[in-house]
Structure 1
Amino acid sequence: MRHGRWASMTRQINDSVLMSSVPGASQAMRICVFVDYWNLQLTLNKRLGEVRKDDDFRAKIDWKGLGALFSQEAANVIAGVGTAHSYEGTYIYTSYNPKTDDGKKFKQWATTWLDRQPGINVQARERKPKALPKCNTCHREITHCPHTGCGHPIVQTVEKGVDTLLATDLIRLAVSNAYDVAVIATLDADMLPAVEFVQSGGKKIIQAGFPPMGVDLATECWGSFDVMKIAAQIQRP
């Protein structure tokens, strides 16, 4: 994602549309939640694994309840604990490897179970092949693991377009006045231009983050909260 792309979009969209509905004192804030699935899952795994001294730890996130909890945390940041608000749904952006059994199972779960939960919308994209590493001497691709006793093929994939989908929906739903406040669960600094644009129209964006990681994005957002402080609440037993 490039800053120029969002600068161009800024010129094309009338800022006055974003200013059309800022909630008054008597209105409950309408909050939407936007989640980069793997950014959240892998970062939480890493942080909790460090606490538990378990490099293989995987957090069992309660995806059904995550959005409502994040929206309440955002309302608390903006106006204090217990602030009335209207939770408007969660948008989850993820990717999968279509060439592996695990990837196929994940896609099935994400698109036929998670996407059907109340208030949840899932966008799943195929991961694309990543260029193989090359030998620094002969510059040929290293196709198999060179370590003795292994020799397995090296297969790498990369996530493409997930951050762009999130940023586009963040802007699109702001322009259509679908929310007053957005929570973004990502550490990706590529989101900065989209955040700046949306907030220039009077909306507020709260980052669900892991300080000190993602400090640039947290600084640009109206506010933020530390996911680790509610880690126990967002996990299934």
Structure 2
Amino acid sequence: MSAGPASQHYRVRVFVDFWNYTLAMRDADAGFRTDWSLLGPAVSSAAASSVGSQVRHTYQGMSVHGSYDPSRDRKLLNWATTVLGGFAGVRVDFSPRRKRRGAPSCPRCHASVDRCPQCGSDMRGTEEKGVDVRMAIEMISLAMLGSYDIAVLVSSDRDFIPVAEFLSSRGITVIHAAFGSLGAELSQSCWTRIDLPHLRPSFERS
């Protein structure tokens, strides 16, 4: 969409796919530690600047969507709900992962084995279900309520392409906060992209 005149005041909201961001940042800089209280304002400011150098903007907050394994990620869930969710303007939505329906199989005979023959533990892994859908619903719902003008999407998942295209058709400027060439197709569906690894000094935890 057209971003409009540079004199316009924009309201910016940031939407983060937690695991997509976490794993991509780990690949970009294994030793980097994110200051989550700074991430939203930093990318919000960068997104507004990408629309126009003199653009005025208001940071409307950041939504972080993720998942956790109920059997072993209690510390992660506690951090997400009490620490991350305690930062000003941050909304957290973490949902439990579910056991995979299919069990791993032997590469030789292809027989499925759902329990370890030694200890009897469940060998099925867990999978993330519905996180991208919940995030997409929030992006669209808040847009329909007129809550923001610019959406900053922190994810490389191409499943968000229809969301970006829909929001653009409704007059919302969608900025892709990307990691290099990851999610190039998603970037093409957005107004523009900003490079997160380049911005990381602005939200690094000291």
| TM-score of the alignment, normalized to the shorter chain, above 0.5 | yes
Match of residue 231 from structure 1: 200
Cα distance in 1 for residues equivalent to 2:71 and 2:124: 10
**1:38 maps to 2:19:** yes
Match of residue 28 from structure 2: 47
Shift of residue 99 of structure 1?
0.4
Shift of residue 145 of structure 1?
8.0
RMSD over aligned Cα atoms: 2.2
Q: SS of the counterpart of 1:233? A: helix
Question: Is the Cα contact below 8 Å between 1:23 and 1:180 reproduced in 2?
Answer: no
Match of residue 88 from structure 1: 60
Shift of residue 93 of structure 1?
0.3
**1:133 maps to 2:114:** no
Cα distance in 2 for residues equivalent to 1:43 and 1:113: 22
Specify the code of the residue in structure 2 equivalent to 1:180.
D
Question: Is the Cα contact below 8 Å between 1:23 and 1:29 reproduced in 2?
Answer: no
Match of residue 191 from structure 1: 160
Specify the code of the residue in structure 2 equivalent to 1:87.
Y
Going from structure 1 to structure 2, the CA distance change for 1:75 and 1:143 (only over 3 Å counts) comes to same
Specify the code of the residue in structure 1 equivalent to 2:70.
P
Long gaps (5+) in structure 1: 1-21, 50-56
Q: SS of the counterpart of 2:202? A: coil
Q: SS of the counterpart of 2:78? A: helix
Question: Is the Cα contact below 8 Å between 2:47 and 2:175 reproduced in 1?
Answer: yes
Match of residue 123 from structure 1: 93
Specify the code of the residue in structure 2 equivalent to 1:186.
S
Q: SS of the counterpart of 1:98? A: coil
Shift of residue 113 of structure 1?
2.1
Shift of residue 140 of structure 1?
2.0
Specify the code of the residue in structure 2 equivalent to 1:91.
S
Cα distance in 1 for residues equivalent to 2:4 and 2:148: 10
Question: Is the Cα contact below 8 Å between 2:21 and 2:155 reproduced in 1?
Answer: yes
The alignment covers a number of residue pairs equal to 201
Question: Is the Cα contact below 8 Å between 1:128 and 1:159 reproduced in 2?
Answer: yes
**1:105 maps to 2:75:** yes
Cα distance in 2 for residues equivalent to 1:132 and 1:221: 38
Cα distance in 2 for residues equivalent to 1:72 and 1:220: 21
Question: Is the Cα contact below 8 Å between 2:6 and 2:52 reproduced in 1?
Answer: no
Specify the code of the residue in structure 1 equivalent to 2:112.
E
Judge which range, 25-34 or 192-201, deviates more: 25-34
% same residue: 35
Cα distance in 1 for residues equivalent to 2:7 and 2:84: 34
Long gaps (5+) in structure 2: none
